[in-house]
Amino acid sequence: MATDPIEQLEQTLADINNYQISNLEELEAFRIKYLGSKNILKPLSGLIREIPNEKRRDFGQLLNKVKKAAQAKFNETKEALEDAVASNVESIDLTAPAEPIELGARHPVSLVMNQMIEIFERIGFVVAEDKEIEDDWHNFTALNTPPDHPARDMQDTYYLMNDPQRLLRTHTSSVQARTMTTSKPPIRIIAPGRVYRNETISARSHCQFHQVEGLFIGEDVSFADLRQTLYYFAKEMFGASKIRMRPSFFPFTEPSAEVDIWLGTDTEDNRRLTKNTGWLEILGCGMVDPAVLENCGIDTEKYSGFAFGMGVERIALAKYDINDIRLLFENDVRFLSQFKSAANF
């Protein structure tokens, strides 16, 4: 082994030139040994004190040559290895089929709501939307709901803790109330949106759901107009051949009715949906109570109107034969992917 400092440098230079590097890991080991912060050349630099004065110049020049040789070998080898990696990458075949892009699907609630909106827009209704956090007057009082009505009970309504006069709307009828107080007749709107009720979640009910409500205020509006409007909707939405209207009660309409559509009992699905009667209930409706019109500043001597409302989830359950409303809120991709082939309204 060389003991003379100059001989050690010459041996180190030979080692560098003969160093075999075949991959990036070996290149990193070379860098640490000869170029790292604790490389083997640093101790050799300290040997200059042992060199006679007449040889120090030669020693310094040789030391610089060794350092440059290490750096040059590192740079050249790194470039060669990177080029080799790049050359091993398969070239892109531009004629090959592309990877398929997985398309999403509209949610069944969106599909049904969009179809309902499109049907009513054909006959002159326009969409009206408003806030989901509502005040007591627009959600209840303006709609002829007295203070002691069960709908005001905390078990039915979500009130805000810091403001008992504000709540999550229980129906989109509040949009009707706001429209009637800010617009002059004739008014012909549908109000789609999310509503909230403090109900036990089960296969048939949920604490949140969607409604589409309609309102038509004008001169000489009659119950016959209401019936014909709803018959048109039932025919377009379900292909129903007939509807029936049963007397009912709602605080904001008088008279009020529940509307059933005829599906028949031709199939097992129809018998299940209609409980073997052939009739399926789809919505509630009625003539707007004069007290509601007066609360909203509309002249009851000149104007009358009708209103209706239906749950979008209920329509979706019937239309797509879904037996559990909770499926509509769980965002299970396996369930939602079934609607890719549904009409894209």
Beta strand pairing call for 126-127 and 187-196: parallel
Please identify which residue in the block is written with the tokens 């749950």: 311
Q: How many CB atoms lie within 10 A of CB 215?
A: 24
Please identify which residue in the block is written with the tokens 């309609």: 214
Q: 0.85 cut: is pTM over it?
A: no
The residue from 41, 56, 88 where one domain ends is 88
By three-state DSSP, how is residue 1 classified? coil
The residue from 88, 121, 145 where one domain ends is 88
Do the domain assignments include residue 130?
yes
Same domain flag for 112 and 77: no
Same domain flag for 112 and 228: yes
Q: Are 172 and 192 in contact (CB under 8 A)?
A: yes
CA distance 345 to 335: 19
Range of the domain at 37: 5-88
Q: What are the Cα distances from residue 36, in Å, to 8, 19, 76?
A: 19, 16, 17
Do the domain assignments include residue 296?
yes
**Which residue type is seen at 272?**
R
Question: What is the C-alpha radius of gyration for the chain, rounded to an integer number of angstroms?
Answer: 40
Same domain flag for 176 and 277: yes
Ordered per-residue pLDDT tens for the chain, 345 residues: 456 777 888 888 888 888 888 888 888 888 888 888 888 888 877 777 777 777 778 778 888 888 888 889 888 888 888 877 666 655 667 788 888 877 777 899 999 999 999 999 999 999 999 999 999 999 999 999 888 877 677 668 888 988 888 999 999 999 999 999 999 999 999 999 999 998 888 888 899 999 999 999 999 999 999 999 999 999 999 888 899 999 999 989 999 999 999 887 777 766 777 788 888 888 999 999 999 999 999 999 999 999 999 999 988 988 888 888 999 998 888 888 888 765 544
154: Cα separation from own chain's centroid: 30
Number of domains the chain contains: 2
Do the domain assignments include residue 99?
no
CA distance 191 to 308: 10
Do the domain assignments include residue 16?
yes
CA distance 236 to 239: 6
CATH number of the domain where residue 120 is located: 3.30.930.10
Token duo for residue 204: 């048939």
Same domain flag for 179 and 272: yes
